Chain A
Amino acid sequence: MVGAFPLDIADAIIVSLMALGLMGLALQHSPHLITNIIFPLGAIASLALAATGFWALGEPVSHTVLPLGLPGLPLHLSLDPLSAFFLILLGGASFGVSIFSAGYFKSMPGNTLGLLCLEYHLFLASMALVLLADDAYMFMVAWETMALSSYFLVTTDHHVPDIRKAGFLYLLIAHVGAIAILLSFGVMQGGHGIGAYTFAAMREAHLSAFWASVAFLLALFGFGAKAGLLPLHVWLPEAHPAAPSPVSALMSGIMLKTAIYGILRVTFDLLANSLNGQQWWWGVLALALGLITAIFGVMFAAVQGDMKRLLAYSSIENIGLLLVGIGLAIIFHVYGKNTLAALSLTATLYHSLNHAFFKSLLFVGTGSILHATGERNMGRMGGLIHQMPWVAVLMLVGVLSISGLPPFNGFVSEWLLLQAFLLSPGLPNSYINMLIPVAAGVIALAAALAAYVMVKFYGVIFLGQTRGEAREHAHDAGIPERIGLSWLALACVVLGLAPVYVVRQLDLVTQMLVGKGLGNATPGWLFLAPVDMERASYSPVFFLLAVLGVMLVTALVVHYFYHGRLLRGPAWDCGYPEQTSRMQDTAEGFGQPIRRIFEPFFRIESELPGAFDTHPRYHGRSEDRLWYALYLPVKRITEKLSSWASLLQHGRIHLYLAYTFVTLLVLLAFV
């Protein structure tokens, strides 16, 4: 008998996170205590949360009922392998971000910092509660707390009008999504009265195929709004640049994953009874939406000039990839191919974990750059590798990981996803079989474009000559920032090098969701072979050692047999004498080919100088067509409707009394 269930410990950690937040608010007159004590303590709590999740992964599911909530509506919590996995993700990534925050927020004034500290820890605690909730009521409370606390975090700099606007957009879409989730829970509880709001009751409810589909679609819409699924993505590129960088990291790295958690929970757990051969189109829908989102996200990332907007669009791409994995898993599962479903789910979960780490790494890294240069526009940076070597090296790890390059972690999950695609033939539905190759092609295209985007991101920021005014004063990140960045980078490397171990742990989750684990064809730890060794295998350790070994031997041989003499001189550049830093590509310049190739997808406004302009000026903007085609019409309709409604409002009390009187008369006529 274990003294305390992992769930109790997780509860205690969540409560202590909230307490830390309150302490931060109380300590707002001594800001150095907040950064030096509260944030590191919060980081330790995060790490403990990850450890608890790790422990719970192999334990039986534990439940608890909290003595809180409305009368007759107690709050239920439970910790099963799916929750445990996402707790690991939450704790692991937020540890690095919190340590980073300890250094990053040092210069913030006390009263802002106190509030931020409260919201930050409340945000973490509510995300953990979303993962642990075992009834719809608890889930919605945690979900809304998460939305509100992150809204206040996004609007930390609320005196800037653009940031207020971005925050409002975020809050609006979050609430539209929350309504859909609430309705989805309402459908799933199936009208069984007040006792049926727990997840356990929803699992038991037998829904007709129609209502199950309605519940799924509502959930996909609601969670999709939080994840940034097309066409509900518009808040991401606004809210992420507006928020302080560690907050962007938490939102992009972790909060988006709670939406993925929600989709997995609803589809494979709550609706598990209804998931059968009829529902294959759920998978196709998710797959198609995921593909469109992925390609859209990466295309827009390629044309951005603001480094945080670029990362936000890249998050949209990654969410698309995750949804592709979920869609594929649904398709395999409904056709009874559970090993393949487990493979797709493993790829999805692995990619969630990877994205949490590398995207957090890149976002907090942009925070360091922002502090050092005061710029978000990449076109005014350049050459920062010389002034910020720590940030540059650690972010290189993140850039290589997110580009899906071996032997880093992003490659492993993409590899697993592509393997799942390659194993797809033999599905009984010929339409799906036709879709699969096209889908694999789109995935490959998105992955290749992601490398393009990341070369642009890293090259324009860190390499080359300094653009614009000199940034000699740019300084490297401080010690806590370095520790935070190093932790996140280390996770990217370890997840890349030890896939066999990670996949074995993920088996516990896929066992729960689709009843099958992946296992590993080989007993050792060296080769990752998802199905069998003859079919496919990959060994990142071997890979790394081979490349490093050859590099080392080559360097030694070259230096020994020849020489290692090195001279420095001015750049050659084909002998052109007048080289200024303005002749390098800017972010816009580097993205120009993509803009040209995919021109129909962008709404481009550009202003080109004529041949005789005395002050030639170039100006170009690539905007989202969906904003103009979908959101602005919706906004206009809403405005029109509310202006009609306002005809009734005059603010005069006798008119309102007249309305009441007329209503009463009409009602009497009916009765």
Chain B
Amino acid sequence: MMSSNQALGILLQIYQSLLVVALAPLLTGWVNQCRAWLQNRSGPGVMQPYRTLRKLFHKDAVIAYNASLLFRATPYIRFGCMWLAAAIIPIIAVDLPFSPAADVIALVGVFALARVFIALAAMDIGTAFGTLGARREMLVSFLAEPALLMVFFTASMISHSTQLPRIVEALAQHQFVLYPSLAFAGLAFVIVLLAENARIPVDNPATHLELTMIHEAMILEYSARHLALVEWASSLKLFAYISIGIALFLPYGIAEVGAMAGNWGSALPLAIIALLVKMVLAGAALALLEALLAKMRIFRTPEFLGTAFLLAVLGLLIHFLLGA
């Protein structure tokens, strides 16, 4: 027999997953809209990503003659990975039944799996831009991934666990303490977020200028439903990253399943409102950051990401030195 807590947990799990999948394009739309406003344009509106997705799903897919099965499977794999990531991060509630399946290290692994597949798919057609994109993506990630892992390690050291729900509990539900190590980790995390989500200054999501693109170069050969899934997965990834940032650095308001059993009528709406407010603010902040920065040369990116990696290691060292 399932206890009511477990049943509630599973319900919440399904609810969170569907909510995140549905909301992710909205976040992308909001960031784009904010960017448009900051650039003094009126912008296409926050619903534009949904319209794009709808259009893409209706089109007939065109792929190159020599595209292999790997190329066709990758959008689905990537979408599955991002969905899993969104399912294990405590976004509206902690203690979801899925979360013990993967801790933060496995979460980094999920992102890596998606990335390796998209890089391989980019090389599958054998075009100049595809391999260029794959090479640059792997270049960005081999520095960003360890930095992300170090950020997680700092948080894990503080909370004595690599489980995200435990980290959130330790950081949110105990007394308020300032952790100097987390400050370094936070800075590193922002850099990783920009790099991993193909944002300025590392990449430009709006560009089709061949020599500057990374992510766009990889997905040039995708069209229709494949492209729609890739784009949707990218939105999900951005959503997941911002959620991780919230969980690590602003974990206030995320509901607990156990505590919710009694009064979930009030805890759940509160959690959703908290989520929406944080997302609106984070999206606006991201747009502002992008408006203020300039795209850097690709050869400068290793230095930029190396800084993130060193900051994160420094954060971990500070934790060891100060115990906080």
Contacts and interface: CB of A to CB of B under 8 A. Distances in A.
B125 interface: yes
A550 B63 CA distance: 23
5 closest pairs, A vs B, by CB?
A464-B126, A444-B146, A465-B126, A459-B123, A542-B101
Interface stretch (A122-130, A213-221, A304-312, A568-576): A568-576
Interface of B: 57-58, 60-68, 70, 73, 76-77, 79-81, 83-84, 87, 98, 100-103, 105-106, 109-110, 112-113, 115-116, 119-120, 123-132, 134-136, 138-139, 141-143, 145-146, 149-150, 153, 156-157, 160-163, 166, 208, 210, 220-221, 223, 225, 229, 299, 302, 309, 312-313, 316-317, 319-321
Contacts, number: 266
A597 B304 CA distance: 12
Interface of A: 382-383, 385-386, 396, 400, 403-406, 411, 415, 418-419, 421-422, 425, 433-434, 436-438, 440-441, 444-445, 447-449, 451-452, 454-456, 458-460, 463-465, 527, 533-539, 542-543, 546-551, 554-555, 558, 561-563, 565-574, 576, 579, 581, 583-585, 589-590, 592-594, 596-597
13 contacts: A434-B320, A447-B145, A448-B146, A456-B138, A463-B70, A463-B126, A536-B103, A547-B80, A548-B80, A566-B61, A568-B65, A584-B123, A589-B131
Contact of B64 (A415, A438, A445, A571): A571
A425 B149 contact: no
A549 B113 CA distance: 16
A571 B60 contact: no
B79 A551 contact: yes
Nearest to A581: B126
A465 B98 CA distance: 41
A445 B150 CA distance: 10
B313 A438 contact: yes
Contact of B142 (A445, A463, A566, A572): A445
Contacts of A579: 127-128
Contacts of A551: 73, 76-77, 79-80
A555 B76 contact: yes
Contacts of B138: 451-452, 455-456
A527 B145 CA distance: 25
A546 B84 contact: yes
A570 B65 contact: yes
Given A404-B109, A550-B79, A574 B210 contact: yes
Contacts of A437: 150, 153, 313, 316-317, 319-320
A585 B138 CA distance: 14
A313 to B, nearest CB: 16
Contacts of A546: 80, 83-84, 87, 98, 101
A569 B221 CA distance: 11
Given A463-B124, A546-B84, A571-B221, A406 B106 contact: yes
Contacts of B208: 574
Contacts of A573: 125, 127-130, 220-221
B156 A440 contact: no
A295 to B, nearest CB: 11
Give the interface centre of A386, A406, A594 by most chain B CB atoms within 10 Å: A406
Secondary structure at chain A's binding surface: helix, strand, loop or mixed?
helix
Nearest to B64: A571
A555 B83 CA distance: 14
Given A449-B142, A535-B163, A579-B128, A554 B80 contact: yes
B68 A386 contact: yes
Contacts of A538: 101-103, 105-106
A585 B161 contact: no
Contact of B229 (A444, A537, A558): A558
A422 B142 contact: no
Nearest to B223: A572
A289 B210 CA distance: 43
Nearest to B76: A551
Contacts of A563: 60
Given A434-B317, A437-B317, A562 B65 contact: no
Given A445-B309, A574-B220, A406 B142 contact: no
A571 B302 CA distance: 31
Contacts of B106: 406, 411, 415, 538, 543
Contacts of B77: 547, 551
B141 A550 contact: no
Contact of B124 (A436, A449, A464, A572): A464
Given A445-B146, A459-B131, A566 B105 contact: no
A574 B135 CA distance: 18
A597 B302 contact: yes
B220 A406 contact: no
A585 B132 contact: yes
B300 to A, nearest CB: 12
A627 B44 CA distance: 60
B153 A458 contact: no
Contacts of A400: 113, 116
Nearest to A579: B127
A445 B156 CA distance: 18
Nearest to A576: B128
